[in-house]
């Protein structure tokens, strides 16, 4: 449940300032983009200025989102007085957009990660929300703004992508009722689901087949580990966004309780994505290395060599399973 004082402070900030910079996190997903664009529509609908800033271009899979073509890179951002971060658990998730946050006169955040300790002037954190878009759905209601058309597309996208199309353990009756409400008010969920789940580039299909065919099962099949190097990705003509969903497919293996996907970055670091089947808290593993997330879905960046990264995460995952 949202803290009434925080909700009031967010609304007061929106009413007070005339221009806003909305920040998304790196490796943008449906929730960070959906929540930022929903806020963009809310703010510009009030006759105010707003910009959505992302550290990298909008992934093809989310190019259908309303106003996605207006998302700008950090170097092209104006940097308005009030900054609102959307679905960003910590400042490390900003990268190049951090300067916009640091130089703003007023900062606010809207997030649902329980690992978020509150780094802005105003912090609206709702850990029991399935997605940041669920919080913004409530914000629309508090402000008596209609949830239809483009706003509904953005909010629905964030909710369904963060809940695995309403199948993950974070799915609640509340978010299902939100989806039902938007559906009853004309939202074309069939079309959006086709964009998100049924439109797959050939490069992604080939890449994911390669990665999954080389995954390893450890500790009696309870831990699944898949890896991908930059060279391997380039060999398929694939991009980072083609890697989305791989860790979930590792988790789908029947014996796997903890799924690990390790992807090399061009800077030599490794992005470690973690998933679990409710028998291990992978957020604890991620927190150990400066990352974050939820008990069933988390991630972090490793600065160690690949062999060390694998050894560390296997040890940590096994310890979690033994608890």
Exposure string over 207-229, b if 16+ CB within 10 A, otherwise e: bbebbbeebeebeeebbbbbbbe
pLDDT at res. 3: 82
User: pLDDT digits over 82-99, tens only?
Assistant: 999 999 999 988 889 999
pLDDT at res. 310: 98
In which residue ranges of the chain is CATH 3.90.1640.10 found? Answer: 4-197
Name the pTM for this structure: 0.90
pLDDT(1) > 80? no
In which residue ranges of the chain is CATH 3.10.310.30 found? Answer: 203-322
User: pLDDT digits over 111-127, tens only?
Assistant: 999 889 999 999 999 99
Closest to 131 in 3D by CA, of 196, 178, 96:
178
- For residue 53, the cross-strand partners are 23, 72
CATH no., domain 203-322: 3.10.310.30
Half-sphere exposure in the Cβ direction for 133 (13 Å, CA): 31
What 3-state class would DSSP assign to 157?
Answer: helix
Closest to 21 in 3D by CA, of 40, 45, 38:
40
Separation in Å, CA 247 to CA 74, 200, 221, 223, 251: 28, 16, 15, 12, 6
Q: What average pLDDT is seen over the chain? A: 95
User: pLDDT digits over 209-246, tens only?
Assistant: 999 999 999 999 999 999 999 999 999 999 988 999 99
User: pLDDT digits over 253-293, tens only?
Assistant: 999 999 999 999 999 999 999 999 977 899 999 999 999 88
What 3-state class would DSSP assign to 171?
Answer: coil
Distance CA 194, CA 277 (A): 26
Closest to 254 in 3D by CA, of 280, 299, 217:
217
User: pLDDT digits over 135-170, tens only?
Assistant: 999 999 999 999 999 999 999 999 999 999 999 889
Which CATH number does the domain 4-197 belong to among 3.90.1640.10, 3.20.19.10, 3.20.20.140, 3.90.1640.30?
A: 3.90.1640.10
């Amino acid at each position: 449940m949202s803290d009434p004082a925080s909700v009031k402070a967010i609304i007061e900030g929106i009413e007070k300032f005339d221009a806003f910079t909305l920040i998304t996190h790196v490796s943008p997903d449906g929730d960070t983009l959906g929540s930022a664009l929903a806020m963009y529509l809310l703010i510009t609908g009030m006759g105010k200025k707003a910009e959505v800033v992302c550290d990298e271009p909008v992934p093809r899979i989310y190019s259908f989102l309303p106003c996605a073509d207006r998302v700008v890179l950090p170097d092209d951002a104006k940097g308005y007085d009030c900054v609102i971060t959307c679905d960003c658990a910590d400042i490390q998730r900003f990268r190049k957009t951090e300067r916009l946050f640091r130089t703003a006169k007023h900062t606010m955040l809207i997030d649902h990660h329980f690992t978020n300790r509150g780094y802005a002037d105003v912090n609206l954190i709702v850990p029991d929300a399935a997605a940041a878009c669920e919080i913004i759905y409530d914000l629309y209601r508090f402000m008596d703004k209609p949830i239809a058309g483009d706003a509904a597309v953005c909010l629905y996208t964030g909710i369904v992508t963060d809940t695995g199309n309403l199948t993950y353990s974070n799915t609640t009756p509340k978010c299902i009722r939100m989806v039902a409400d938007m559906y009853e008010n004309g939202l074309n969920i069939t079309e959006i689901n086709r964009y998100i789940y049924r439109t797959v580039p050939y490069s992604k299909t080939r890449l994911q087949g390669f990665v999954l065919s080389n995954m390893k099962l450890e500790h009696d099949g309870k831990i699944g580990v898949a890896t991908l190097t930059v060279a391997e990705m380039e060999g398929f003509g694939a991009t980072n966004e083609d890697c989305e969903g791989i860790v979930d497919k590792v988790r789908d293996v029947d014996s796997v309780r903890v799924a690990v996907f390790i992807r090399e970055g061009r800077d030599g670091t490794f992005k470690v994505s973690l998933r679990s089947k409710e028998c291990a808290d992978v957020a604890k593993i991620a927190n150990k290395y400066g990352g974050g997330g939820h008990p069933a879905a988390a991630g972090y960046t490793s600065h160690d060599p690949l062999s060390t990264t694998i050894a560390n995460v296997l040890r940590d995952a096994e310890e979690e399973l033994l608890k």
